[in-house]
Amino acid sequence: MEFKSREELIEHQNKKLRFCVEYASKNSRFFKDTLKSCNLKADDIKNVDDLQKLPFTTKNDLRDNYPFGLMAVPIEEVVRFHASSGTTGKSTVVYYTKNDLDTWSNLMARVLATTGLTKKDSMQIIYNYGFFTGGFGFHYGAERLGIAVIPTGSGNTKKQIEIMRDFGTTSFTSTPSYAIYLGEALEEMKIDPKKDLKLKIGVFGAEPWGKGMRQRIEELFNIDAYDNYGISELCGPGVAVECIEKDGLHVWEDHFIMEVIDPKTGETLGEGERGELVFTPIWKEAMPLFRYRTKDISRIYEDKCNCGLPFRKIERLHGRSDDMLIIRGINIFPSQIEEVILKNSAFKGHYAIIVERKGPLDHLTVEIEVTNDLFTGNLKDLIQLKDKVEDDLKSVLLVKADVKLVEEGAIPRSQGKAQRVIDKRNLEE
């Protein structure tokens, strides 16, 4: 759908929002109770600005209503379930009608088309095909666009590379951390992506990743790497994607109303201010949601993009509010540490952040893999490298971090989302 102006888009959002509120007020027990608790009627929500009359919906709301408490259709109209699990508590369950799946597939087709993929391409999907939404989202989006799908799923790294080579794969999707692992396997197998593969585009997501990791992935595979954003509770992947400018991710605003709030106070922030992303999908049948708190930290770009898309962009994720570490009163995001690490060519992107409490103070250690050629017995070079990284980290973080350099392969690899942070503190003590 094309929009001639920002005003036309907002009017579309208002119309879809009114429909969703009316629909949810009749069909969702959870939303009926929400309106009642706020002394509101469906007619009180007439436009985007009125959304602030409603409370936020959180992951805990989904867990408290596990498994079917947010369902707005008879269960016989549900054709798909997905779920995501956290470190604690119940899973969050998401349900889809046939119309929901059709819309999601169309959104994912948009994502892939925005990166430059066409029906002439093939896509190797290196995501889990279980409850996790990633594999299915890319699968059906690619098919909708006419891309030939190669559904390899996760794991079996050498086989993944063989298939890339034998099938002439032109694009693939995975977590960025697994992409680096896969790229290093290419080097070990003496496969030159320029000569031996036909890859040109990679689309990555499911975890925050910075400019340094993008550069590393693009060098390993000789591709253009694009960031995709989505979370299971909204639909899965397909909420936003980078265009060819690679400067922020376009949100499909004809399907999602977005806000940015202060994660501590819940106050709506102004243009360009960094805070927690909040989304209201204005298309879901099986599970309507309003003002869903993502815990993802970003900001909205108001400037029009050179690519010509009419939708505003969000900054690539700065991190998650629940991933933020507070060390001696300083707020630290793992992404800040990653950016420092990947500025140095001696590091390939594998690291671990360890937080411990020693006496009354928190202690931060960063373990970083170093290329094997630096372990030659020349301790002076390693000490200089260690000191430099510690200085760089302190200038960015404003708190001292001890750096421990380790040999290649010492940091455990992950075929899914990378677990970068090991917090050994008992914060309840």
125-180 residue pLDDT tens: 999 888 889 999 999 999 999 999 999 998 899 999 999 999 999 999 998 889 98
Residue 66, in any domain of the structure: no
pLDDT, mean of residues 15-23:
98
Average pLDDT over the chain, rounded to whole? 91
Span between the terminal Cα atoms of the chain, in Å: 54
Structural domain including 380 reads 325-423
Cα dihedral angle (36, 39, 42, 46), rounded to 10 degrees?
-150
Query: What mean pLDDT do residues 363-392 have?
Result: 86
Q: Which residue has the higher pLDDT, 29 or 380?
A: 29
Alpha helices in 259-341 (DSSP H): 334-341
Q: What does pTM read for this prediction?
A: 0.83
Strand duo 347-358 + 421-423: pairing = parallel
183 Cβ neighbours under 8 A, 6+ residues apart: 216, 217, 220, 221
Listing DSSP states for 351-389 in one string gives EEEEEEEETTEEEEEEEEEE-GGG-SS-HHHHHHHHHHH
Is a pLDDT exceeding 80 seen at residue 374? no
Q: What domain count does the chain have?
A: 1
Looking at residue 359, its pLDDT comes to 66
pLDDT at 360: 65
Structural domain contains residue 364: yes
The confidence band for 416, taking pLDDT boundaries of 50, 70 and 90, is low
Is residue 405 included in any domain, yes or no? yes
- CATH of residue 377's domain is 3.30.300.30
Q: How does residue 429 score in pLDDT terms, banded at 50, 70 and 90?
A: very low
- 354 inside domain: yes
Q: What percentage of the chain carries pLDDT values higher than 90?
A: 70
User: CB-based contacts of 265: which residues, under 8 Å, 6+ apart?
Assistant: none
Backbone angles phi, psi at 273, to 5 degrees: -80, 140
Across 207-212, average pLDDT = 83
> Is the sign of the CA dihedral 251, 128, 293, 281 positive or negative?
positive
What Cα–Cα distance (Å) separates residue 143 from each residue in 113, 116, 205, 258, 405?
12, 15, 19, 28, 44
Euclidean distance between CA atoms 280 and 13, whole angstroms: 10
267 inside domain: no
What pLDDT does residue 88 have?
46
Cis previous bond, 55, omega within 30: no
Q: How far apart are CA 128 and CA 153, in angstroms?
A: 5
Q: In this predicted structure, what is the pLDDT of residue 89?
A: 56
397 in a domain, yes or no? Answer: yes
Q: What are phi and psi of 89, to 5 degrees?
A: 75, -175
